[in-house]
Amino acid sequence: MKIKPLESRRFQTTLPWILPVLLVMLFVAILIWLPWQAQKMETNERQEQLIADTLWVEQALQFQLKRHEESLTNLADDFVDNKLNKQTVAERLRLLSGNNHEIQDIILWDAQNLLVASNFDSHYRNSEEDIFPFQQALKASESFTEKLHKPSCSRLLPTKTSNGSDILCRYPIFRNHIYRASIMVSFRLQTLLDEIVPWWFAQENDISLIDNEDKVIARRAAGGRGKNVYTHNRQLDFPQLSLNLHTNSTKAEPKLLSNLLVVSVVLLSLGLVWSLFALWRDIHRRLRAEGALRKEAAFRAAMENSLITGLRARDMQGRLTYVNPSFCKMIGFPEDELIGKLPPMPYWAPEEIAEYENRFAQILTGTVQPEGFETIYQRANGERFPVLIYESPLVDEHGKQTGWMSSILDVSELKRAQELSRQQEEKVHQNARLATMGEMASMLAHELNQPLAAISSYTTGAINLISQNQTDPLLLREAMEKARQQALRAAQVIRSVHEFVRKREASRVNFNVNALLQSVMPLIALQAQSHHVHVHYQIDPDLPEIFADKVLIEQVILNLTRNAIEAMHEIDIQQRQLQIHAHAIPVEDETTRNTNPNTPPGNTHKHLLIQVIDRGHGISAEVGEKLFSPFFSTKASGMGMGLNICRTALEFHGGSLKHRANPTGGTIFEFTIPCATSPN
């Protein structure tokens, strides 16, 4: 066991008591600093509160005067617009001055500066002495105000009704830059302060309005004169007149609390006790942390020993400093033969030693970064096996790299599994080719059924004509020509389906949809007659051409109509109605918008919409989910490929196939396909 030096142990013993000593020194410093700081903080707090209250009073005064200005100008506007007569204006002026004590006199002048109305009572006549100040103010501000279209305010000289603390404001009224009237009002500033300033603010502050010559115009000091300790000035801006709102607090400088030192001593004593408790708690936590660290080290050792991944650590010279049991078991060498060993290592394959040394030199020089790589190791018995190695740098507590930690995986089983997977994949490809051949055979059998049935019908008709001694050459020629066309069509089906199954480009051309529908109508009629189904067509006469494989589209239509006819097999004959609709509809070009997001909405082109509507038993939701799946069929003799082939063929042409319930009973199958734009 290593014994620490005496000086080191003495320092560790003295160190925990430095904090209490520092707290005592802090206690003395606080006794000196705290009273001064408390007084300063209280002074700042009172000053800030005074500023906030003064700002509130100033806003309240400005709001009240602005409200009076809006009321008076609105009244003058109504008079100018002939909405009010002189008598009504006078009554409104008297009502306004009666409800607002700070308003003394109000006079409305017309465009010729003649008095229109005022708020004067019967005992207060419009004598020359009474209105002289208003006339003087009107003349003084007339030319200046008319040019600027702005109101103006001025001080009123003392009269028998005014003590000199009033102001006179004039608000001109213009229409299309033409002077039409003026309204003048005198405000009692003393009354305004008494009305607006709240009592609680006047109890603690001396509020006064001061002109530019520092002369007090109005004052409210319910709590007495201010002490000139906390003061603040705010400028009140009237039109062409400025006054200062001066606030002087009645509070004196703050006094120190008598028990401040006692409270400080108590608090600092508690802090000293708490620091001792914290010191004890810190020592206790250190002991617990050391115990937890030992448990963590034991847990990590157990975890590393249980891993199947090999672990090794190397220093900057490549010397092994740590290996776990899995690594020793993997290479067949014991731990004591590996720890401290420098390259070359005993588990290196002799033929790969040059590669090992080259890679390690590159890592040391920083040419390559330590990352996952695969190599060959050799067991103690000479057996070679592939390994996958991941390396990361080892960094100490100061952020300095001290070596590398490596994870080594034996990938022998993985290699064997990959080889087995490759063999299985080859078998799957073989089976897929066989399945494709079976699918092709199924599709050919399904698609050739209709043209062969048509050939049989035409030849039967020709035989019936011969047996009835109706040897009209034209009829026989027409029947045999149609049989020949169906035979050619069957051959084309074989070629088209073969090309389609092989995912090659189909034979697509521009063709007229109306002509295609006319050519399949006889085949639909043959199917419908045998099931006593009435067929109704609703086809636009000028359908545009489409660029598609004509045989595939024809097969889609015949397949859908055959399914619709068979779906009505079990309903009443009167209800066996088959409808075929064909229209051209505009569709927004989503492909263009997805390719170019800047394409504006509304870029559309036409699609062909064909609907096959039956009155059959309908399709349930459960069946609808599987309807287009391969080899799914609701018919006893069906192969389940028809609808799947139809949808695949339409998607091959950029279209789609959907179904929905018919509101009158049955099902509506509808498909869309883009119309031809420029096939060349």
Domain ranges within the chain, ordered by starting residue: 18-256, 312-410, 419-504, 506-680
Q: What is the pTM of this model?
A: 0.36
Average pLDDT over the chain, rounded to whole?
77
pLDDT recorded at residue 591: 45
Residues 549, 653 contacting (CB under 8 angstroms): yes
pLDDT recorded at residue 595: 38
Share of the chain above pLDDT 70, in %: 73
Higher pLDDT residue, 499 or 358? 358
Residues 6+ apart with CB under 8 A from 596: none
Cα of first residue to Cα of last residue in the chain, in angstroms, is 95
pLDDT in tens, 62-107: 888 889 889 988 998 888 888 888 889 888 888 988 888 888 889 8
Which of 286-290, 360-364, 633-637 has the lowest average pLDDT? 633-637
Residue 200: CB atoms within 10 A of its CB come to 11
Q: Strand runs (DSSP E) across 267-416, as ranges?
A: 310-315, 320-323, 373-378, 384-395, 401-410
Give dist(CA 591, CA 599) in Å, integer. 10
pLDDT recorded at residue 678: 46
312-410 folds as: Beta-Lactamase (3.30.450)
Tell me which of 3.30.70.20, 3.40.50.300, 3.30.565.10, 3.40.120.10 is the CATH number of domain 506-680: 3.30.565.10
Higher pLDDT residue, 94 or 364? 94
Residues 449, 490 contacting (CB under 8 angstroms): no
Give dist(CA 534, CA 76) in Å, integer. 85
The four Cα atoms 153, 157, 160, 166 give a dihedral, to 10 degrees, of 40
CATH number of 419-504: 1.10.287
Residue 107, strand partner residues: 118, 184
Q: Which of 29-38, 393-402, 620-629, 631-640 has the highest mean pLDDT?
A: 393-402
Higher pLDDT residue, 158 or 160? 158
538 band by pLDDT with thresholds 50, 70 and 90: very high
CA atoms 175, 176, 178, 183: torsion sign: positive
pLDDT recorded at residue 425: 54
pLDDT recorded at residue 331: 87
pLDDT recorded at residue 583: 92
CATH number of 18-256: 3.30.450.20
User: Is residue 147 scored above 50 in pLDDT?
Assistant: no
Higher pLDDT residue, 391 or 540? 540
Same fold, 312-410 and 506-680: no
With 0-12 CB in 10 A as exposed, 13-18 as middle and 19+ as buried, what is 675? Answer: buried
Q: Strand runs (DSSP E) across 200-319, as ranges?
A: 205-210, 216-220, 231-238, 241-249, 310-315
pLDDT in tens, 572-614: 888 889 999 999 988 765 544 443 444 445 556 789 999 999 9
